[in-house]
């Protein structure tokens, strides 16, 4: 069990490092994640304990003594069967109540930790969320990694759109990352902003602004990020947090939604691919089974109606392949986040 706990700690070390957490918070983090390890550890523990127990009995000739006393192997293992049944029932209730409660606590704690002191955890080569902006640096160096190189900042506007992009060759953190305000100074860069048009004509011209700067000072307020309630629980509806009775309701809802979406998709697909423009075959006309039809492929393709049918079929096949790829990607994303 200790090995899996340590593995969990290293798996989520990025969520804990650089946050200034106390021992109590780290201990709660590990306690909340421990119940999820029980279904993995319990079968291995039972298997190992059973092998060691019966190995010791065989080594001390206990089985021979039992057989000489008239006790069969099945009767000798009956106690083990009863214990395994009790463990199985206990595991079910443990998974249904304890693991789901631990999932609620651990999921919300991870979400809250991601909001805590984000400026300290600016990592190289990846975008780091910092409030309403995302910052990426190529390299950090200098005292306490205050000097930055190749800085890219995506800043969101009030409508939560990524309309502002700032690129600079160098940057520097002036204030300490533990202060309420983080001062970031950028050198030799450009600021790009997409201006939102008030009407369609302005939007067609793609209005934007570009400003070159030698020095650009940004004061980022971190007070609201440091004031985070780690016990807050805003997420309680993911499938891993639900009990068996709740999962049954969710399965019924998903099946109903799936049937509805399949019907809507089928109707839209038929309308999109102009099936109504293709004439249906008239099976009332008699067919001559003993006649050999000699058709010219070129004449078939030159026929406008046949050409339309081939184009619709080709487009339909392409759409189906694209939809299948999207469904596969959605399925992967579903199992990753759920």
Residues 330 and 243 in one domain: yes
- Whether 137 and 148 have beta carbons less than 8 Å apart is answered as yes
Residues 244 and 313 in one domain: yes
C-alpha span between 126 and 134 (Å, rounded): 9
83-136 pLDDT, tens digit each: 889 998 999 999 888 888 888 888 787 777 766 654 455 778 888 777 678 889
Domain count for the chain:
3
Q: In the chain, at which residue ranges do the beta strands (DSSP E only) sit?
A: 128-130, 133-141, 147-156, 162-173, 181-194, 208-221
237-277 pLDDT, tens digit each: 677 788 888 888 888 888 888 888 888 877 777 776 555 55
Instruction: State how far the alpha carbon of 201 is from the alpha carbons of 159, 221, 224, in Å.
Output: 21, 37, 40
Q: Does residue 315 fall inside a structural domain?
A: yes
Q: Does residue 227 fall inside a structural domain?
A: no
pLDDT of residue 119: 45
CB atoms within 10 A of CB 289: 5
Residues 96 and 157 in one domain: no
User: Which carries the bigger pLDDT value, residue 303 or residue 262?
Assistant: 262
Average pLDDT over residues 177-204: 78
Q: Please give the helix or strand (H or E) that residue 309 lies within, else none.
A: helix 304-337
Residues 108 and 126 in one domain: no
pLDDT of residue 227: 53
Q: Does residue 233 fall inside a structural domain?
A: no
Question: Which residue range(s) make up the domain with 131?
Answer: 121-221
Highest mean pLDDT among 7-11, 61-65, 133-137, 143-147: 133-137
Which of 93, 117, 141 delimits the end of a domain? 117
Residues 101 and 138 in one domain: no
Q: Does residue 22 fall inside a structural domain?
A: yes
- Whether 119 and 177 have beta carbons less than 8 Å apart is answered as yes
Residues 258 and 197 in one domain: no
Q: Does residue 234 fall inside a structural domain?
A: no
Which of 221, 253, 273 delimits the end of a domain? 221
The dihedral formed by the CA atoms of 154, 156, 160 and 162, expressed in degrees to the nearest 10: -40
pLDDT of residue 161: 76
Which range is least confidently modeled, 88-97, 143-152, 158-167, 234-243? 234-243
C-alpha span between 160 and 16 (Å, rounded): 28
CB atoms within 10 A of CB 117: 17
Which of 117, 142, 157 delimits the end of a domain? 117
pLDDT of residue 175: 66
């Amino acid at each position: 069990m200790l090995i899996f706990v340590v593995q969990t700690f290293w798996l989520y070390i990025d969520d804990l490092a650089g946050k200034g957490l106390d021992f109590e918070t780290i201990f709660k983090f590990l306690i909340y994640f421990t119940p999820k390890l029980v279904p993995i550890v319990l079968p291995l523990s039972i298997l190992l304990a059973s092998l060691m127990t019966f190995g010791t009995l065989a080594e001390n000739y206990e089985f021979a003594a039992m057989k000489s006393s008239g006790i069969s192997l099945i009767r000798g293992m009956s106690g083990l069967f009863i214990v395994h049944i009790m463990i199985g029932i206990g595991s079910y209730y443990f998974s249904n109540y304890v693991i789901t409660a631990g999932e609620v606590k651990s999921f919300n704690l991870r979400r809250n930790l991601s909001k805590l002191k984000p400026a300290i955890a600016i990592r190289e080569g990846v975008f780091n969320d910092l409030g309403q902006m995302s910052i990426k640096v190529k390299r950090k160096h200098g005292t306490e990694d205050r000097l930055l190189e190749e800085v890219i900042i995506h800043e969101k506007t009030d409508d939560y759109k990524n309309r502002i992009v700032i690129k600079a060759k160098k940057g520097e953190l002036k204030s300490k990352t533990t202060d309420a305000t983080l001062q970031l100074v950028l050198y030799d860069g450009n600021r790009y902003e997409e201006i939102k048009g008030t009407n369609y004509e302005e939007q067609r011209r793609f209005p934007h602004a570009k400003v070159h700067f030698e020095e650009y000072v940004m004061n980022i307020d971190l007070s609201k990020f440091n004031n985070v309630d780690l016990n807050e629980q805003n997420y309680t509806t993911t499938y891993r947090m639900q009990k068996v009775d709740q999962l049954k309701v969710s399965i019924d809802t998903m099946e109903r939604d799936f049937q509805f979406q399949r019907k809507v998709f089928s109707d839209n697909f038929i309308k999109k691919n102009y099936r109504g423009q293709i004439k249906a075959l008239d099976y009332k006309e008699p067919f001559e089974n003993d006649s050999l039809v000699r058709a010219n492929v070129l004449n078939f393709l030159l026929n406008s109606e046949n050409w339309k049918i081939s184009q619709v079929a080709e487009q339909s096949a392409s759409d189906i392949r694209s939809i299948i790829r999207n469904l596969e990607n959605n399925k992967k994303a579903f199992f990753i986040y759920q």
